[in-house]
Amino acid sequence: MHVVNLREKFAQFSEHWSPRVVADLNGQQVKLVKLLGEFDWHHHEHEDELFLVIQGRFRMEFRDRVQWLEEGELLVVPRGVEHRPVADVEAHVLLLEPAATLNTGNVVSERTVRQPERL
């Protein structure tokens, strides 16, 4: 058991769209990611994803609507729902998802991170 200081962990990296693992929980991973710009449209066939905004704000785009998330707010994107996170300014986000979840879901691109770095 150890305490994870989110501010300290976010300070350890600067790359955008490259999640870092900070904890494991019952087959789930707690990941931190910095968002800036537009991500790829994708969905996760078998996994739900939880997004919790730690700093800043971003919007989650769906094919039929847009949902803004502010600091302290969270959103669960259900499996199978196509989505794309977009941040006009840098946002710091905590993710909770199954350990096997690819950040780009059903799409493989230059942004796909198969083995996220562990902080």
Cite the DSSP H helix spans in 1-119.
Answer: 6-11
Q: 33: pLDDT confidence band, cut at 50, 70 and 90?
A: very high
Query: For the chain, what is the domain count?
Result: 1
Give pLDDT tens digits for 53-65.
999 999 999 999 9
Please give the residue range of the domain that contains residue 56: 6-118
Q: Residue 33 domain-assigned?
A: yes
37 with 106: CB under 8 angstroms?
A: no
pLDDT mean across residues, the chain:
95
Tokens coding 81: 């729902």
Residue 113 has pLDDT above 90, yes or no: no
Tokens coding 73: 């707010």
Region of residue 29 (phi > 0: left; psi between -120 and 50: alpha; otherwise: beta):
beta
Q: Residue 65 domain-assigned?
A: yes
CATH for 89: 2.60.120.10
